Amino acid sequence: MLKLITHVFGVYDKISPIHEAATLGDVSELERLIKEGVNVNLKNYEQHTPLYLAVQNGNELAAKLLLESGANAKNLMRIAVDKGNLKMLQLLDQFGADVEGDKNGPIYPYMKVKDGLHLFHLAAQQGYLDIVKWFVDVKGVSINLSKNPLKQTALHLAAKQGHQDVVEFLLQKNANPDVLDLNENAPVHLAVQQGNLPILKLLKGYEASLEIYGNKSKITPLHVAAKHHYLSIIEYLIDTAKVNINALANGLQIGKLYLPECMQSKYTPLQAATFFPDAGQTIALLVYKRADIDLKHNFGKFRSYIIKHQNAILNSGPMEHQIALGLAFLKVFHDYNDSKTINFKKFVVTTLVTKMKNISEGDTTAKLKEILSTQEQGENFYNFCLATTKDLKFGNIESELKEPYDKILSALKSDIMGHGSATTDSIALAVAGAGSVTETSSVEIDQ
């Protein structure tokens, strides 16, 4: 007998009474049909058995009755894991659910492959902690199993998806925190790719290396964070984990996007930030955190990026970042006198003068305002700039930046004392010129 129902599939579908009873969890109706001799392995128009529908809909009592009546449980553990239903999984296991196609030997008889992932991996990926625990504690699945297309462990998958409780359990069970997958990514690389700082901290707590080289490009987690502009992770890696801020990537590329800019044999996290758009705040933060901008590798490309995106970069982050960044660029670009770089240096100095004149709020700006109001504003301001940038590894900062500071201060004094701002541009030209200012004064700043 066939009947029409609408509450199961959302459309009118033909379904047999035993399929309907299994779908709805109607145990009494199932018992009646089974006693009448209805085939418990009857397939519907989608080739699904009643047990499949009972498992899919989480009807444990119906599933138990069907199993006791000889229903075929083949391949149904996958459905239970997909649904995150541990009780159903245990029920199927109790009745010896066959795992078709398993080729991994007797230690893994409970791990049907789905889309290349074993059920243990699927549970970790979806964050089903109770099922993960069952596989490990009851079924003895190897914690570092990596038999899937990407050779990823459960820790890789849980870290990437941000399942903190699963990650912690796996680490407690001695999962290898530094294991590399097929793409040579460690779990820390995947956590950083997703911008997940709590997972990163958890991995570090279990001795994961935060300077491990991974990816086909041999990059560190800091490179990954810089590319994606994850500022909080960058600060954590530098300030807390104390990673090498100037670590060099050893690969040839960092992916398919922006390929022409990525074909570099060596690059730092600072340079990695320039491979992708909107890097202003990232660059400002890295330089403020003492990243070396006097780069020996691919400096020309880095310099071009800075000049092209000067507005975004010099106006990113807290005021102290902006000031330190501008002073740093004046120093590192000092000996480059092509027209674009000279105009960039003019822009930097003009920007610094503007920023230092318009101080109104915040700890740093309040301190600057106080310094500029003192009688010895020149010396005090110079000392403040040294204090702000003293750890940026600029080399002989005093001899190389004393004159630009003094000239900036002259312009500031003139403006503060009410003598007008007519000298600002001429001071900027004098500071940035380094060559013939006259030849470049008419060139527009490249923005």
- 119-162 pLDDT, tens digit per residue, is 999 999 999 999 999 999 999 999 999 988 899 999 999 999 99
CATH topology agreement for domains 14-113 and 210-252+260-317:
yes
Helix (H, G, I), strand (E, B) or coil at 138: helix
Residue 43 above 80 pLDDT?
Answer: yes
What is the CATH code of the structural domain delimited by 210-252+260-317?
1.25.40.20
Look up residue 240 and give its DSSP letter: I
**Mean predicted confidence (pLDDT) in 358-367:** 47
User: What are the Cα distances from residue 161, in Å, to 125, 155, 220, 231, 442?
Assistant: 6, 10, 20, 20, 54
Dump pLDDT digits (tens) for 278-303: 787 788 788 767 787 767 666 677 77
User: What are the Cα distances from residue 291, in Å, to 205, 340, 343, 369, 413?
Assistant: 26, 24, 24, 28, 32
Dump pLDDT digits (tens) for 153-172: 999 999 999 999 999 999 99
Residue 430's H or E segment, with its range, is: helix 423-433
Helix (H, G, I), strand (E, B) or coil at 381: helix
**What percentage of the chain carries pLDDT values higher than 70?**
63
Give percent helix, percent strand, percent coil of the chain, each to the nearest 5.
55, 5, 45
Class of the CATH-defined domain 14-113: mainly alpha
Could you state, in order of their start, the residue ranges of all structural domains in the chain?
Answer: 14-113, 121-132+140-207, 210-252+260-317, 329-433
User: What are the Cα distances from residue 143, in Å, to 1, 100, 321?
Assistant: 49, 22, 45
pLDDT band (50, 70, 90) for residue 361: very low
* Among the listed residues 396, 359, 350, the one whose alpha carbon sits nearest the alpha carbon of residue 377: 359
**Lowest mean pLDDT segment, chosen from 157-166, 227-236, 403-412:** 403-412
- How much is the CA Rg of the chain, to the nearest whole Å? 32
pLDDT at 249: 86
Contact 431, 407 (CB under 8 A): yes
Pick 116 or 361 by higher pLDDT.
116
Written as one string, the DSSP assignment of 166-200 is HHHHHHHTT--TT---TT---HHHHHHHTT-HHHH
Dump pLDDT digits (tens) for 198-207: 999 999 999 9
In DSSP terms, which residues pair with 5 in a beta bridge?
13
pLDDT at 351: 76
List the Cα angle 51/52/55 in 5-degree steps: 85
In DSSP terms, which residues pair with 219 in a beta bridge?
214
pLDDT at 217: 81
Residue 101's H or E segment, with its range, is: none
| Domain made up of 121-132+140-207: CATH architecture | Alpha Horseshoe (1.25)
Residue 92's H or E segment, with its range, is: helix 86-94
